[in-house]
């Protein structure tokens, strides 16, 4: 059992939890993930490690409430326990030897982009962060990004906060204004990563994306997390989750991510009913 | 006077029409009367040809003689001297190619049902006896075991019996390895695995779940934590795919994924949170035991048509004859001498058919099995909404990657001394699928046993 030591609501459907897990905290590096199971009948889900505190032996996760499991997870409060937690899994992001990097985060993906940007900043790399959200209410980690970015651009789809438009618009502006990056790191929805990669390919800038496919075990056994990268089968759990954005077959990854969409919705509704809450309170 | 019946006592089973709709165990086990009658068929040969084929050298005529005398507890004790998991082996060992293949009674008629008798003894003792493990003097030596599958459990059991302090590190949330995530409930009930785990714990073995050696902790770190020897039994690893078009369509599973969802995550139970696609027409590609398990599990999930597609003929199928027969009785359709060439999807990228070519067998290849060659222009399609690929695995890279001085061969298996299981690294031993590639439960147990003997010797020499 793993104790939740801190919980923070970041927006209406994104929460942060700090969990006591010394073994994982001792080892975790940016880009790695963990698998968790909320309770005895729970499914195993992968979540990227958003931060870790070696001194107190804790790791942080930031998650969006999308299905039954994240709904159940979000019902836990400080002092409650998570049944199973295992990690750190996957390869750490390759962040050494860089001088100037654009970090692009979209939605809850900003939670994964943040530790990467933070690590780069602490290694004296110039960091330009571009973070995008659908609207003002969904903005997360603004203060955190401000502290570690040499330049921060916030985009919203509807212009209710920051600049109106997509993260690719902001990236394109920076590149065309003469900014030269060794690397672009894009983390967010598959569609966002696809278009960032397409843009950077045009400008010939190395690009890393973080894939978050469906996983069961997360340890290199089930093969559910396979991603086509440069026409080769790669497993996100042991070969990734970071891959070269110019080689990933995003269209296939997007289609694979739809596999359980109906199940997810139904199961979430069931969970909401179980807890006798209206759909609205459940904040779907 | 021995029982000279040419036929063995039939194993009572659940009716096919009934069992293909539930996940309960198929075989129901012998009654004591059946067991005693079957034991009477053993001729108690002097040279014991059966024992020579047992990977853990159980005194087979010895335990069978005790069954004949109705001394079931003594029979159990004889088996336990060599096997730490009799209830498991009695169910999943391929006896027909091991002990039973050399049984003299098999020359004319059927061999003695050694596997059924082993299972009977284990189950009878489990139900009727309270097991007390002998207290052994502690040596104070610490051994770490990576993975709680058959190799790890057998190594752990033997080391604990010799007084060593054993800790098993398991990557998943539940112990048992392939016994838990791979072999379905209807062939190996999980309560049997749990029981075996309890027996190990009584011996003092500690099991730490949710630890991935190679990620959460490395082999070298285990040494610095005070472990003096390490046994790596991390299993087979990542599934192989065919590299044909359409393999990443929605509805295409590896057998590992499909079975893990069902066995480990209990996706077939209504209260499980793990989803599984409810399928009607399923194609399982492959001819091993795992393919049979996947096909029979799909049937139990409610699939109407389940096909097993295999590129050679039934004679070459690596699956146990018993499993093939059970599958057929349950209505699984065998498409042998067929090789998938591509998988087709609908407009939403869900599988809608699999396209296969017919094959013919030519001269034997390096595996000794006849080589299948495609018949030109023989393509045909089968409408399916799910494809399960069950063509083997390749070793998990996590431990190799984090332990650079561990030698591996060209396909990624760890290189070990075949007698002791010692790897290229001092005090690190390995066995099971991580060494051999996908093999059987009993071979893995044999490897665990050999390594335990070598580790015990190594620890004794440390002084």
B199: confidence class by pLDDT, cuts 50, 70, 90: confident
CB contact under 8 A, B248 and A256: yes
Q: What's the pLDDT tens digit per position in B384-416?
A: 999 999 999 988 889 999 999 999 998 889 999
Please give, rounded to a whole number of angstroms, the shortest distance from the CA of A239 to a CA of chain B: 9
Q: Which of B100-109, B130-139, B163-172, B245-254 has the lowest mean pLDDT?
A: B130-139
**pLDDT exceeds cutoff 60 at A281:** no
Report d(CA A64, CA B232) in Å as an integer. 37
Report CA torsion sign: A106, A108, A112, A118. positive
Q: At what angle do helices B190-202 and B150-161 cross, to 10 degrees?
A: 30
Contact residues, chain B, for A69 at CB < 8 Å: 273
| Partner B, chain A 72-91, Cβ-Cβ below 8 Å | 72, 83-89
CB contact under 8 A, A220 and B260: no
One-letter-per-residue 3-state SS of chain A? CEEEEEEEEEECCEEEEEEECHHHHHHCCCCCEEEEECCCCCCCEEEEEEEEECCCCEEEEEEECCCHHHHHHHCCCCCCEECEEEEEECCCCCCCCCCEEEEEEEHHHHHHHHHHHHHHHHCCCEEEEEEEECCHHHCCCHHHHHHHCCEEEEEECCCCCCEECCHHHHHHHHHHCCCCCCEEEEECCHHHHHHHHHHHHHCCCEEEEECCCCCCCCCCCCCCCEEEECCEEEEHHHHCCEEECCCECHHHHHHHHCCCHHHHHHHHHHHHHHCCCCHHHHCC
**pLDDT exceeds cutoff 90 at B137:** no
B402: nearest CA in chain A?
A91
pLDDT for the residue numbered B269: 83
What number is the average pLDDT over the span A65-90? 93
**From the candidates A220, A257, A271, which should be mutated to test the interface with B, based on the most B CB atoms within 10 A?**
A220
pLDDT for the residue numbered A283: 44
pLDDT for the residue numbered A277: 53
Q: Which residue has the higher pLDDT, B324 or B134?
A: B324
Q: Measure the CA angle with vertex A4, ends A276 and A211; round to 5°.
A: 85
What tokens were used for B351? 């599988």
Q: What's the pLDDT tens digit per position in B21-54?
A: 999 999 999 999 999 999 999 999 999 999 999 9
pLDDT for the residue numbered A23: 94
pLDDT for the residue numbered A268: 67
What number is the average pLDDT over the span B333-361? 95
CB contact under 8 A, A259 and B265: no
Query: pTM of this prediction?
Result: 0.91
What tokens were used for B12? 């009572």
**pLDDT exceeds cutoff 50 at B318:** yes
Report d(CA B257, CA B280) in Å as an integer. 18
Report d(CA A210, CA A225) in Å as an integer. 13
B271: nearest CA in chain A?
A41
What number is the average pLDDT over the span B144-173? 95
B178: nearest CA in chain A?
A221
pLDDT for the residue numbered B135: 73
**pLDDT exceeds cutoff 60 at B97:** yes
CB contact under 8 A, B217 and A69: no
Contact residues, chain B, for A263 at CB < 8 Å: 275
Q: What's the pLDDT tens digit per position in A194-203?
A: 999 999 999 9
What are the Cα distances from residue B283, in Å, to A40, A41, A96, B109, B333? 32, 29, 46, 36, 9
Interface of B with A (CB under 8 A): 171-173, 181, 209-212, 215-217, 235, 237-239, 241, 243, 247-251, 253-254, 256-257, 260-261, 264-266, 271-275, 277, 348-349, 396-398
CB contact under 8 A, A87 and B396: no
CB atoms within 10 A of CB B7: 9
Report d(CA A63, CA A85) in Å as an integer. 15
CB contact under 8 A, B275 and A86: no
Nearest to B216 among A23, A223, A258 (CB): A23
Q: What's the pLDDT tens digit per position in B47-74?
A: 999 999 998 899 999 999 999 999 999 9
Q: Which residue has the higher pLDDT, B429 or B279?
A: B429
What are the Cα distances from residue B23, in Å, to A143, B78, B184, B325? 53, 32, 8, 17
Report d(CA A109, CA A103) in Å as an integer. 11
Cβ of residue A264 closer than 8 Å to a chain B Cβ: yes
Query: Percentage of chain B with pLDDT > 90?
Result: 80
Q: What's the pLDDT tens digit per position in B239-265?
A: 999 999 999 999 999 999 999 999 989
Nearest to A222 among B241, B247, B254 (CB): B254
B256: nearest CA in chain A?
A222
Residue A150 phi, psi (nearest 5): -70, -25
Nearest to B239 among A41, A42, A223 (CB): A223
Spatial contact of A14 and A62, defined as CB atoms under 8 Å apart: yes
Q: What's the pLDDT tens digit per position in A26-60?
A: 999 999 999 999 998 889 999 999 999 999 999 99
CB contact under 8 A, B349 and A223: no
**pLDDT exceeds cutoff 90 at A168:** yes
B211: nearest CA in chain A?
A86
CB contact under 8 A, B215 and A216: no
- DSSP H or E stretch at residue B64: helix B60-68
What number is the average pLDDT over the span B432-443? 89
Contact residues, chain B, for A84 at CB < 8 Å: 173, 209-210
Cβ of residue A43 closer than 8 Å to a chain B Cβ: yes
What number is the average pLDDT over the span B201-219? 94
CB contact under 8 A, A267 and B273: yes
Report d(CA B341, CA B244) in Å as an integer. 6
**From the candidates A44, A222, A231, A263, which should be mutated to test the interface with B, based on the most B CB atoms within 10 A?**
A222
Report d(CA B333, CA B296) in Å as an integer. 11
- Specify the DSSP class assigned to residue B317: -
A282: confidence class by pLDDT, cuts 50, 70, 90: very low
Q: What's the pLDDT tens digit per position in A130-165?
A: 999 999 999 999 999 999 999 999 999 999 999 999
- Candidates B254, B281, B396, B185; CA nearest to A226 is B254
- Mean of all residue pLDDT scores within chain B: 93
**pLDDT exceeds cutoff 90 at B107:** yes
Report d(CA B160, CA B143) in Å as an integer. 9
């Amino acid at each position: 059992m793993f104790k939740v030591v801190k919980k923070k609501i970041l927006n209406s459907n994104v929460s942060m939890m700090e969990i006591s897990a010394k073994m994982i905290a001792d080892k975790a590096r940016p880009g790695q993930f963990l698998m968790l199971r909320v309770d005895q009948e729970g499914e195993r889900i992968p979540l990227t490690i958003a931060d870790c505190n070696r001194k107190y032996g804790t790791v942080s996760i930031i998650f969006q409430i999308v299905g039954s499991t994240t709904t159940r997870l979000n019902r836990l409060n400080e002092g409650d326990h998570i049944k199973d937690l295992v990690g750190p899994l996957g390869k750490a992001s390759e962040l050494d030897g860089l001088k100037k990097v654009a970090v692009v985060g979209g939605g809850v993906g900003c939670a994964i982009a943040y530790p990467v940007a933070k690590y780069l900043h602490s290694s004296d790399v110039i960091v330009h962060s571009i973070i995008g959200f659908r609207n003002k209410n969904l903005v997360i980690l603004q203060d955190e990004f401000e502290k570690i970015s040499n330049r921060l651009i916030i985009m919203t789809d509807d212009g209710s906060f920051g600049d109106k438009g997509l993260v690719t618009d902001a990236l394109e502006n920076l590149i065309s204004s003469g900014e030269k990056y060794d690397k672009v790191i894009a983390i967010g929805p598959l569609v966002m990563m696809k278009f960032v990669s397409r843009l950077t390919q045009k400008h010939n800038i190395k690009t890393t994306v973080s894939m978050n496919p469906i996983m069961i075990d997360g340890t290199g056994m089930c093969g559910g997390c396979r991603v086509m990268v440069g026409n080769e089968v790669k497993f996100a759990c042991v070969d990734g989750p970071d891959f070269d954005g110019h080689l990933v077959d995003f269209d296939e990854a997007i289609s694979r991510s739809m596999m359980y969409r109906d199940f997810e919705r139904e199961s979430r509704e069931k969970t909401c009913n179980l807890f006798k809450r209206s759909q609205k309170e459940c904040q779907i | 006077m021995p029982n000279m019946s040419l036929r063995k006592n039939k194993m009572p089973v659940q009716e096919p029409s009934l069992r293909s709709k539930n996940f309960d165990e198929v075989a129901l086990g012998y009654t004591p009367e059946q067991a005693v009658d079957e034991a009477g068929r053993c001729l108690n040969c002097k040279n014991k040809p059966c024992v020579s084929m047992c990977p853990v050298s159980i005194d087979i005529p010895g335990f069978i003689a005790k069954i004949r005398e109705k001394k079931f507890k003594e029979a159990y004790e004889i088996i336990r001297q060599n096997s730490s998991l009799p209830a498991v082996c009695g169910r999943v060992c391929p006896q027909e190619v091991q002990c039973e293949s050399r049984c003299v009674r098999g020359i004319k008629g059927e061999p003695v049902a050694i596997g059924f008798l082993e299972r009977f003894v284990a189950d009878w003792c489990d139900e009727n006896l309270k097991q007390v493990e002998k207290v052994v003097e502690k040596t104070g030596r610490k051994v770490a075991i990576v993975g709680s599958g058959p190799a790890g459990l057998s190594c752990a059991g033997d080391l604990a019996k010799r007084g060593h302090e054993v800790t098993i590190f398991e990557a998943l949330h539940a112990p048992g390895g392939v016994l838990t995530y791979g072999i379905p409930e209807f062939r190996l009930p999980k309560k049997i695995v749990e029981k075996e785990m309890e027996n190990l714990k009584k011996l003092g073995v500690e099991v730490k779940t949710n630890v991935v050696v190679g990620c959460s902790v490395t082999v070298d770190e285990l040494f610095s934590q005070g472990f003096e020897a390490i046994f790596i039994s991390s299993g087979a690893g990542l599934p192989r795919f065919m590299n044909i078009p359409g393999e990443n369509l929605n509805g295409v599973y590896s057998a590992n994924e499909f079975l893990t969802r069902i066995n480990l995550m209990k996706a077939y139970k209504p209260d499980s949170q793990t989803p599984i696609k409810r399928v009607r027409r399923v194609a399982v590609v492959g001819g091993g035991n795992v393919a049979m398990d996947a096909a029979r599990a799909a049937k139990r999930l409610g699939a109407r048509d389940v096909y097993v597609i295999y590129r050679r003929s039934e004679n070459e199928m690596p699956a146990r004859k018993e499993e093939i027969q059970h599958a057929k009785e349950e209505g699984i359709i065998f498409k042998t001498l067929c090789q998938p060439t591509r998988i087709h999807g609908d407009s939403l990228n869900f599988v809608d058919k699999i396209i296969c070519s017919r094959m013919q067998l030519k001269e034997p290849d390096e595996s000794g099995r006849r080589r299948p060659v495609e018949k030109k222009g023989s393509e045909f399609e089968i409408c399916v909404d799910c494809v399960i690929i069950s063509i083997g695995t390749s070793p998990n890279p996590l431990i190799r990657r984090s332990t650079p001085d561990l030698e591996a061969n060209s396909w990624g298996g760890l290189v070990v001394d075949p007698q002791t299981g010692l790897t290229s690294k001092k005090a690190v031993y390995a066995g099971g699928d991580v060494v051999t590639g996908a093999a059987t439960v009993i071979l893995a147990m044999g490897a665990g046993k050999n390594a335990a003997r070598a580790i015990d010797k190594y620890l004794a020499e440390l002084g």
